Amino acid sequence: MSLTSLLVPTYRNMLRTLAGLLDKAEQQAPERAERLLSARLAPDMFPLASQLRFAAYQAQEATFRLRGEAIPPSLEVVAAEGRSAGDSPGSLADARVRIGEALSRLDGLADDALDAGSALPIALDLPGGIAFDMTGEQYARDWALPQFYFHVITAYAILRNQGIEIGKADYVAHMFAYLRPGPAPAA
């Protein structure tokens, strides 16, 4: 499996999941949907608004790193919005824009856009002086996907914790494309 065929569909599926979760939140709790953006699982965790932006950022960051390109300033803005969302959560419309931008960037990639990056050296410098050196394949497997899923599942957990009625079927809605025809099994 190539990096492009692994990452791009994964990112698309889960970004669409996030959009669907926001739709459910708005439908179920229209009077408090915007306030949900400030909800957190724990006081020392980032709020929902951050999780949404970080997921959009992570999906796009990999597309640049795995092509050996610098992260553009426009994408760094998304990361900065995520870090400051505790004070400035923005709106659900803003979050949807960020998700849409990520989907558009993914949709604009060639079918093999990330594949040459598997052996590319990736240097990942994090706050606090932490630095990682890895190959593109290691980066995709050990950083890009786990980080992305962390933010997606945290967004799901925040909404669930806030009483939004969502379940596993909402989280893996993309799986219904593979549903075998026929009668449903008895419960």
pLDDT of residue 72: 97
Residue 185 has pLDDT above 80, yes or no: no
Superfamily grouping for domain 3-177? dinb family like domain (1.20.120.450)
Helix (H, G, I), strand (E, B) or coil at 113: coil
Name the pLDDT band for 187 (thresholds 50, 70, 90): low
pTM of the model: 0.94
CA 7 to chain centre: 11
Which of 169, 140, 171, 143 shows the shortest CA–CA distance to 155?
Answer: 171
Report the mean per-residue pLDDT for the chain. 95
* Chain centroid offset of residue 69 CA: 20
182 falls in which pLDDT band (50, 70, 90)? confident
Q: Give the whole-angstrom CA distance, residue 158 versus residue 182.
A: 35
Q: Among 11, 47, 8, which Cα is nearest to 154's?
A: 47
Q: Is residue 16 pLDDT above 70, yes or no?
A: yes
Over the stretch 60-76, which tens digit does the pLDDT of each residue have? 999 999 999 999 999 99
Residues 150, 56, 94, 16, CA torsion sign: negative
Ordered by start, the domain boundaries in the chain are 3-177
Q: Rounded mean pLDDT of 89-108?
A: 97
